[in-house]
Structure 1
């Protein structure tokens, strides 16, 4: 069990409003926030999920209370969109929960507006850091300050469907360049006789563009929000998808007909580039006829490049206005690092980031596959990129929409590039 520890921290005061959460300057309240184990404390904990996850949280809180009986934890949960709608309303009114499950794409937005607690006073003390590798801890850093701790990680990978490939008589993708991957998709599409396609147009996903940029030593966006690419580089990327859009990949019309599912989890394609924690959902959607998936490295832009990185499936953060920062940090530590959390949550929140929690988690075959995959790409793992800029989600969606239009043939690459840069100019200068 974890020992009860003490810490002192200041509480930042700030407010936010609407989507942009425009921060207001506020004075710090540097009071003695040392947690007294005998003090009666009540904390609010908010997370997104469903009844299954809620039951797991209740079990973990019960285990937490065996060690910390004087900390009462009130939990609440919503579906992902409603969770963030409520947080934005609370941020505008200054009333965020003490502890929150947090999404990476919102981390900069909330931290730069003074809404999250600086966790530095607790690292290595209340929040144990030994079970968390440095590249994991750095994920929660914005402007040199730690505002959140990852609960779990995932990495970009290539899923393939062995049953479809066997039916087509084609071997799994053996690795290689993006051109090699396109050629392999073409082989699968031809061999299937029209039953399915080798894959989708990978140029419709901004993550694949990011992967190529990282191979060139660039990020999508710098810490200061400067893009790491120009119009010509984006045009080059979208042009590279032309052969896929010309019959190799699944037609966009078929993709639209499959919504809300996708082409890979309906057996319309034999491969999909995405985050490695999507496998369980894919298998569930494919049904009982499909019992396994392969998970391999994505194509290589430049040999030896550190293009891949670990991304948090989710994080935990603390409100800057909490009245009990040390107690909140104690709860965060238990939710992330305790063996009890690993044993109870398993991989419900993704593959545990903490080595202590991971060692206690019982991994099903697919989770073990993800663990083995992330170990296999160690030589390609680089530092995580800067925390996403405010408005990143808007740009990611615009990128996807333009990819859809390119696949329908309703827009040229030149016009798509122009539209994206116009949208980017608005987001970066709002």
Structure 2
């Protein structure tokens, strides 16, 4: 039986304790203060990325200063793991940057520990919400409070490799049930005599399980932190993959030998279910001779279900202890909504969530394809699920590892289910 505490997983317990202590200290900025554009202030901005993204942020800050010359912005960046290590250290000392690029998986942890500013008072004022759809704004909400705004979005999709399909003489997946998808993968594998496989074992990805649950009107995890499924339902999902593991999908040993590339990156599988913003990376890894990929909707569990949703590639949030909340909100609005931001960043941070930024962005062919894809699945898009529970990342990884063991044949479904629920018990009952 799972209780409703949503603290950190065992692996991150020490960090979570630090954040709780940090969240209890200090005062939240007064949202009723009047914004004075003539006041000279300095803001600290932190983001993760590389030199390319840093150059884009520098250009965006220059454009921001043309409009707001009295707001000085000092920016710093790190790689993703180092970025969050530094934020945890800063949280312990109460010194988070004024404005932060933020990851969805950390949002609940930081919000519930009082480390992020309530953005509600600035929405519709300093932060223009007209270019942001309601379902996008809801993504940054924790316990009925808006703590972050998405810079960009992505959706779950099915990438296919047109060159491999042409060689195998098999048409692109035209939609259908999960069983239809398994049959299609087997047809690719058989047609190529095993030189290419139709795909990978989709039951190794927790997102595909979530898709099926959403079609049944359930969440992977509810707002109160409890799971939206039981052992029987998980066993049903993993047993569903037995047909695919019986000769239709790439054997796990071959997948391991390809690492760090995925089987799709290495042109060993003709399809892959994943987030749609992976397209550019796939093309880069596939190399010369690849200028396009197929991108279609995932299999359907129940007709008419709102099983898909838009997930933020990243968000922007403001420290609860910033001394300049109005200036910080002005910077967030510019980085998310301004046409200048759209022109400068393009799709570097994902497909822009703001319509004004998106209209100004120069989209390459892959980005245009993703934009068209997300428009094509509009009838399947529902509200985003509750913000991920604290410890979600460790459960996602456990799910993946058990999926590989199922594909290896080193664990039975019932044992895998027991192992996952044991891990989930640790995470949810801390």
Q: What SS class does the counterpart of residue 317 from structure 1 fall into? A: strand
Aligned to 1:8: none
Report if aligned partners of 1:187, 1:198 keep a CA contact under 8 Å in 2: yes
Report if aligned partners of 1:41, 1:324 keep a CA contact under 8 Å in 2: yes
The correspondence of residues 177-196 of structure 1 with structure 2, limited to 5 A, is 177-196=177-196
Q: What SS class does the counterpart of residue 152 from structure 1 fall into? A: strand
Q: 1:231-255: per-residue Cα shift (whole Å, max 9, x none)?
A: 0000000001112222210011111
How far is 1:26 from its partner?
4.5
Over aligned residue pairs, what C-alpha RMSD do you find? 1.2
- Rounded to whole Å, the distance in 2 between the matches of 1:383 and 1:83 is 29
Distance 1:138 1:29, change over 3 A: closer
Q: What SS class does the counterpart of residue 42 from structure 1 fall into? A: strand
After TM superposition, the score normalised by the length of structure 2 is 0.95
Report if aligned partners of 2:195, 2:268 keep a CA contact under 8 Å in 1: yes
- Rounded to whole Å, the distance in 2 between the matches of 1:287 and 1:412 is 38
How far is 1:35 from its partner?
2.9
Aligned to 1:416: 416
Aligned to 1:54: 54
Aligned to 1:336: 336
Q: 1:286-310: per-residue Cα shift (whole Å, max 9, x none)?
A: 0012111010000000000000000
Unaligned runs of 5+ in 1: 1-15
- Rounded to whole Å, the distance in 2 between the matches of 1:328 and 1:298 is 39
Aligned to 1:404: 404
The correspondence of residues 9-408 of structure 1 with structure 2, limited to 5 A, is 18-19=15-16, 21-23=19-21, 24-26=23-25, 28=27, 31=30, 33-408=33-408
Q: What SS class does the counterpart of residue 248 from structure 1 fall into? A: coil
- Rounded to whole Å, the distance in 2 between the matches of 1:257 and 1:17 is 35
Aligned to 2:426: 426
After TM superposition, the score normalised by the length of structure 1 is 0.95
- Rounded to whole Å, the distance in 1 between the matches of 2:189 and 2:264 is 13
Report if aligned partners of 1:17, 1:88 keep a CA contact under 8 Å in 2: no
Q: Which moved more, 1:323-332 or 1:88-97?
A: 88-97
How far is 1:415 from its partner?
0.6
Report if aligned partners of 1:17, 1:89 keep a CA contact under 8 Å in 2: no
Which structure is richer in relative contact order (CA contacts within 8 A, separation 6 or more)? 2
Report if aligned partners of 2:106, 2:390 keep a CA contact under 8 Å in 1: yes
Report if aligned partners of 1:17, 1:91 keep a CA contact under 8 Å in 2: no
- Rounded to whole Å, the distance in 2 between the matches of 1:54 and 1:336 is 16
Q: What SS class does the counterpart of residue 264 from structure 1 fall into? A: coil
How far is 1:17 from its partner?
6.3
Distance 1:428 1:113, change over 3 A: same
- Rounded to whole Å, the distance in 1 between the matches of 2:209 and 2:367 is 27
- Rounded to whole Å, the distance in 2 between the matches of 1:228 and 1:417 is 15
- Rounded to whole Å, the distance in 1 between the matches of 2:29 and 2:230 is 45
Q: What SS class does the counterpart of residue 265 from structure 1 fall into? A: coil
- Rounded to whole Å, the distance in 1 between the matches of 2:427 and 2:213 is 20
Report if aligned partners of 2:239, 2:413 keep a CA contact under 8 Å in 1: yes
- Rounded to whole Å, the distance in 1 between the matches of 2:28 and 2:368 is 46
Q: 1:164-213: per-residue Cα shift (whole Å, max 9, x none)?
A: 00000000011000000000000000011221100000000000000000
How many residue pairs end up in the alignment?
415
How far is 1:19 from its partner?
4.0
- Rounded to whole Å, the distance in 1 between the matches of 2:83 and 2:26 is 28
Aligned to 1:13: none
Report if aligned partners of 1:33, 1:324 keep a CA contact under 8 Å in 2: no
Distance 1:72 1:17, change over 3 A: farther
Q: Which moved more, 1:60-69 or 1:237-246?
A: 237-246
Distance 1:357 1:417, change over 3 A: same
Q: 1:128-184: per-residue Cα shift (whole Å, max 9, x none)?
A: 000001000000000000000000000000000000000000000110000000000
Unaligned runs of 5+ in 2: 1-12
Q: What SS class does the counterpart of residue 265 from structure 2 fall into? A: helix
